[in-house]
A and B are shown apart, each in its own frame.
Chain A
Amino acid sequence: MGFTLRIGQAVLWLACSTAWAQAESVKLPDNLHHNPTWLTLGHYHQDRFGSDYTSQADDPAFFLSDNGKTSPRAELEATLEAIQQPGGGDSHARCRFPARDAWLREQLDFPDTPVNCPAFEEWAGTLNTEKVTLVFAASYLNSPSSMFGHTFLRLDPPQDDEETDLLLANTVSYAADAAEHDSELLFAYRGIFGGYPGITSIKPYYEMIRLYNDIEHRDLWEYTLNLDQQEVDTLLAHTWEIQDKNFDYYFFDENCAYRLLALIDAARPGTDLLDEVSTHAIPSDTVRWVRDAGLLESIHYRPSAATSVAHSLDSLPTDHQTIAAALANGYVAVNDPEVRKLGKDDRAQLLDATYDYVRYQSEAEGWPREHAAPLSHQLLVARSQIEDAAELPEVPEPEIRDDQGHDTFRLSLGSGQLAHSEFTQLTIRPAYHDVLDPPAGYRTGAQLQFLRLDARLYHKNDELQVEQITGVEIRSLSPRNQFFAPISWQVGFGGRRTDTGDDRVLAPYLEGGAGGSWSLAQNTQAFAIATTDVEIDDDIKRGYDFAPGADLGLLHQNNRFSLLTGVKTKAWIVSSQHRQDQFYAEANWHIGREFSLFAKFTREDHYDRYQSTWQAGLHAYF
């Protein structure tokens, strides 16, 4: 039955197309297939070698021509023919590619004859979009690896309508469709070298809030774009075209942020946000591009559950904080006199903050349900008996947004001295932030650097040496208090100069550590980290060496000045069997968020001799 039907359709289609072929043929302007809008709608990019174009879409369903992936011209011709077919219905090209259809009709002065596309119309009607908001999920506390952020688009319904609600608004995101059972290593490999399909998907905003705000503890920044209704409609039409189509996903460039930029480019031709992408598209950078392209209308901040609960607890008076901690841990009951004797507003705020804290601990720290659920219930029942209480103060919006922090590419030039040998050092760090960089717009105590290269020119013999190559370096120092007990940690690998006793050789290393950090004053924390180091090299006696160690230090960060100082000790126990003790101090003076002057000094005791290194210079951020 289905088969006959399909044959019937095919015959009908053939008949129609023959009928069409006999009709007058429309002449395409010569260069229309190289029109930037057409290239954007087809996701065509010029090949690295040669002048041909290839589409980034990896899905035959995205093309009407068999050669569509590599020929903008063939695809344009096929599109032109297809949209002129009579009829309508969901499988008609005009319904499958409404953005192409509208653009081509405008270019060729075709009448915009109505077409019946039930599925698309229902979809667009349901999305009911007036404004588009770019949502940026910031990095979260104690997870520097999330520093890249994540972006997605929210489709906002008309706001003057009391029957709509932003939590129910839909969102468009593009993500790697990784199989659940894939290991992280495979995930990383296929992410970098390709192999995961990337899928555009639509989900309600409340689900994204749940994922990013509540589970991952990421603050959300909502950047409402100034697209007008027609541009919004184009964006939707193009979203429809790429929805469920496969575009291979690459973490560094063709990632979540990238595909969204393409959607914005399609909505407002000439924006050319994709031209900003070079080797990588860090979501927080893409927010800057959108900002710089003049696309922002308004900005709203939505703090994460973690930010809110920390702020709620902070706003309680100190003695109420103690009661909150006791309540949460079960030392004081909801109906005990300590709680009951409080005034209405104080009691309401105490119960609110405690509930939020218990929920946070259950979510983040895995508090057992047997403890958390009955307690949560008691807290809410008690709270529901207090009416019209003053609410806890809202989390204030940070003065400096993430997109206003220093730029992430850093170039440094300095000169210094290593054991009386003078050198000039050049450092290139493509991304992202270290604890001594200007802190505004970044999480306190968080550091993520990758692909950093330090090269030194020693003056005495004009010798150029690689001092260090940092593959990845992640560090997180988050202070502990009576409510939160995060672990401070660090991990890194790369290659660095190591002292073998009579030479400094470049050796691959792997380092890690874990410990705690405590706040001493605002902007200042002290930390104690247990560390391990592994170095591998032919010049090391047994080919490798291993060192347990410790790092005790002090970190101060403010917008003018940052300081990191402390002592480190490492006991190399496999090959050299020497202890390496070090005092270090490094300070940066920030000149706005574009430059920092830096100075550092280390004094080291290794192989029974003392050695000092100092260095000073300038960091510039691009």
Chain B
Amino acid sequence: MKKLIAGAILLGASSMAFAQPGCGVGAMIWKGQSGIAPHVLAATTNGTFGNQTFGMTTGTLGCQTNQSVQSMAMYMDSNIDKVARDMSRGSGENLDTLAVLLGVEETDRDTFRKVLQDNFASIFPNADTTSGEAVDAIVALLEQNDALSKYVAA
């Protein structure tokens, strides 16, 4: 089942180029304006301009062997702002999605949410943190937790 979900994410991203960079790369958090294209016509007419979609930036797929972690890294890459927001609140659908991607069972989810909220400042040490760095920090945090380490085992 977990494989299926990971596959679903990869299927969706199949059009992107996998740049295969090293670890720790990824989207910078709050990278600024994505730009609202002057899409008066596009909106009227329901077309899409190629540039209106936002490709994911380079992924963090080069270094992680755990497929769940890879899926989480891809999700974080395109939703980093919202993931950070939910993490600071200790709740929210983006946090639930991370739990699903990592396969965290229902019984462990409260712990999962709490660990991420409590350690927000170490996951995002500054305003220039990238999604890849955040993923690495999350993996390191979960590895130290007795209940959660099994979800990030390589």
Which residues from chain A sit less than 8 Å from chain B, CB to CB? 123, 125-128, 143, 145-146, 148, 150, 161-165, 167-170, 175-176, 178-180, 182, 184, 187-188, 191, 196, 202-204, 206-207, 210-211, 214-216, 249, 251, 255-257, 283, 348, 352, 355-356, 359, 362-364, 366-369, 372-374, 376-377, 379-381, 383-384, 387-389, 391
Per-position binary interface string of chain B over residues 26-63, scored 1 when its CB falls under 8 Å from any chain A CB and 0 otherwise: 00011111101011111111111111111000000000
Asked if B66 is at the interface (CB within 8 A of a chain A CB), the reply is: no
* B43 & A210 in contact (Cβ 8 Å cutoff): no
Question: Least Cβ distance of B31 to chain A in Å?
Answer: 7
* A210 & B79 in contact (Cβ 8 Å cutoff): yes
Q: Which residue of B lies closest to A392 (CB)?
A: B89
Partner of B46, one of A251, A364, A391: A251
- Assuming the A-B contacts A359-B81, A384-B120, are A251 and B8 also in contact, with contact meaning beta carbons closer than 8 angstroms in the complex? no
Question: Least Cβ distance of B57 to chain A in Å?
Answer: 13
For A379, the chain B residues whose CB sits under 8 A away are: 88
* B36 & A364 in contact (Cβ 8 Å cutoff): yes
Cα–Cα distance between A330 and B61 once the two chains are bound (Å):
38
Question: Least Cβ distance of B8 to chain A in Å?
Answer: 5
Beyond the given A126-B7, A127-B8, could you list 13 further A-B residue pairs with CB under 8 A, ordered by the A residue number?
A126-B8, A148-B45, A162-B100, A165-B97, A167-B93, A168-B9, A204-B13, A207-B78, A211-B52, A372-B30, A380-B120, A380-B124, A391-B91
Question: Least Cβ distance of B132 to chain A in Å?
Answer: 17
* A165 & B96 in contact (Cβ 8 Å cutoff): yes
- Assuming the A-B contacts A168-B9, A168-B100, A168-B101, are A206 and B75 also in contact, with contact meaning beta carbons closer than 8 angstroms in the complex? yes
For A187, the chain B residues whose CB sits under 8 A away are: 41-42, 45, 47, 49
Partner of A215, one of B1, B7, B54: B54
- Assuming the A-B contacts A362-B33, A384-B87, are A202 and B5 also in contact, with contact meaning beta carbons closer than 8 angstroms in the complex? no
* A145 & B43 in contact (Cβ 8 Å cutoff): yes
| 13 pairs, CB–CB < 8 Å, chain A vs chain B | A168-B5, A170-B8, A176-B48, A178-B49, A188-B45, A206-B78, A207-B53, A369-B30, A376-B81, A381-B88, A381-B121, A384-B120, A387-B90
For B41, the chain A residues whose CB sits under 8 A away are: 145, 184, 187-188, 191
- Assuming the A-B contacts A126-B4, A162-B105, A191-B45, are A206 and B117 also in contact, with contact meaning beta carbons closer than 8 angstroms in the complex? no
For B5, the chain A residues whose CB sits under 8 A away are: 163-165, 168
Q: 3 tightest A-B contacts by CB? A: A384-B120, A204-B12, A180-B50
Partner of B47, one of A191, A204, A206, A373: A191
For A170, the chain B residues whose CB sits under 8 A away are: 8, 11-12
Partner of A150, one of B46, B91, B103: B46
Cα–Cα distance between A145 and B7 once the two chains are bound (Å):
37
Cα–Cα distance between A387 and B119 once the two chains are bound (Å):
12
* A381 & B120 in contact (Cβ 8 Å cutoff): yes
Q: Which residue of A lies closest to B116 (CB)?
A: A384
* A352 & B29 in contact (Cβ 8 Å cutoff): no
* A255 & B45 in contact (Cβ 8 Å cutoff): yes
Q: Which residue of B lies closest to A180 (CB)?
A: B50
Q: Which residue of A lies closest to B71 (CB)?
A: A168
Partner of A148, one of B46, B49, B128: B46
* A373 & B11 in contact (Cβ 8 Å cutoff): no
Cα–Cα distance between A180 and B40 once the two chains are bound (Å):
15
- Assuming the A-B contacts A128-B4, A204-B9, are A376 and B46 also in contact, with contact meaning beta carbons closer than 8 angstroms in the complex? no
* A380 & B88 in contact (Cβ 8 Å cutoff): yes
Asked if B94 is at the interface (CB within 8 A of a chain A CB), the reply is: yes
Majority-rule SS of A interface residues: helix
* B88 & A179 in contact (Cβ 8 Å cutoff): no
- Assuming the A-B contacts A175-B48, A251-B45, A391-B91, are A363 and B84 also in contact, with contact meaning beta carbons closer than 8 angstroms in the complex? no
Instruction: Select the residue from B4, B8, B101, B121 with max chain A CB neighbours within 10 A.
Output: B8
Cα–Cα distance between A352 and B89 once the two chains are bound (Å):
8
* A377 & B45 in contact (Cβ 8 Å cutoff): no
Asked if B154 is at the interface (CB within 8 A of a chain A CB), the reply is: no
For B43, the chain A residues whose CB sits under 8 A away are: 143, 145-146, 148, 150, 216
Question: Least Cβ distance of B56 to chain A in Å?
Answer: 9
For A356, the chain B residues whose CB sits under 8 A away are: 85
- Assuming the A-B contacts A206-B75, A364-B36, are A257 and B1 also in contact, with contact meaning beta carbons closer than 8 angstroms in the complex? no
- Assuming the A-B contacts A128-B4, A168-B9, A211-B53, are A380 and B33 also in contact, with contact meaning beta carbons closer than 8 angstroms in the complex? no
Question: Least Cβ distance of B102 to chain A in Å?
Answer: 10
* A384 & B118 in contact (Cβ 8 Å cutoff): yes
For B29, the chain A residues whose CB sits under 8 A away are: 373, 376-377
Asked if B150 is at the interface (CB within 8 A of a chain A CB), the reply is: no
Cα–Cα distance between A243 and B31 once the two chains are bound (Å):
34
Q: Which residue of A lies closest to B45 (CB)?
A: A251
Cα–Cα distance between A118 and B123 once the two chains are bound (Å):
41
* B89 & A391 in contact (Cβ 8 Å cutoff): yes
* A374 & B33 in contact (Cβ 8 Å cutoff): no
* B100 & A204 in contact (Cβ 8 Å cutoff): no
* A167 & B94 in contact (Cβ 8 Å cutoff): yes
- Assuming the A-B contacts A143-B43, A184-B41, A380-B88, are A387 and B12 also in contact, with contact meaning beta carbons closer than 8 angstroms in the complex? no
Q: Which residue of B lies closest to A302 (CB)?
A: B93
Partner of A143, one of B31, B40, B120, B124: B40
For A127, the chain B residues whose CB sits under 8 A away are: 8
In residues 81-135 of chain B, which contact A (Cβ within 8 Å)? 81-82, 84-85, 87-91, 93-94, 96-97, 100-101, 103, 105-106, 114, 117-118, 120-121, 124, 126-128
For B101, the chain A residues whose CB sits under 8 A away are: 165, 168
- Assuming the A-B contacts A176-B47, A206-B97, A210-B78, are A373 and B30 also in contact, with contact meaning beta carbons closer than 8 angstroms in the complex? yes
* A215 & B34 in contact (Cβ 8 Å cutoff): yes
* B51 & A180 in contact (Cβ 8 Å cutoff): yes
- Assuming the A-B contacts A165-B97, A384-B117, are A374 and B12 also in contact, with contact meaning beta carbons closer than 8 angstroms in the complex? no
For B49, the chain A residues whose CB sits under 8 A away are: 178, 180, 182, 187
Cα–Cα distance between A279 and B120 once the two chains are bound (Å):
54
For B118, the chain A residues whose CB sits under 8 A away are: 384
Q: Which residue of A lies closest to B28 (CB)?
A: A373
Per-position binary interface string of chain B over residues 127-149, scored 1 when its CB falls under 8 Å from any chain A CB and 0 otherwise: 11000000000000000000000
* B97 & A380 in contact (Cβ 8 Å cutoff): no
Question: Least Cβ distance of A121 to chain B in Å?
Answer: 12
- Assuming the A-B contacts A175-B46, A257-B46, A372-B32, are A203 and B12 also in contact, with contact meaning beta carbons closer than 8 angstroms in the complex? yes
For B114, the chain A residues whose CB sits under 8 A away are: 387
Q: Which residue of B lies closest to A369 (CB)?
A: B32
Cα–Cα distance between A535 and B34 once the two chains are bound (Å):
39
Question: Least Cβ distance of A167 to chain B in Å?
Answer: 5
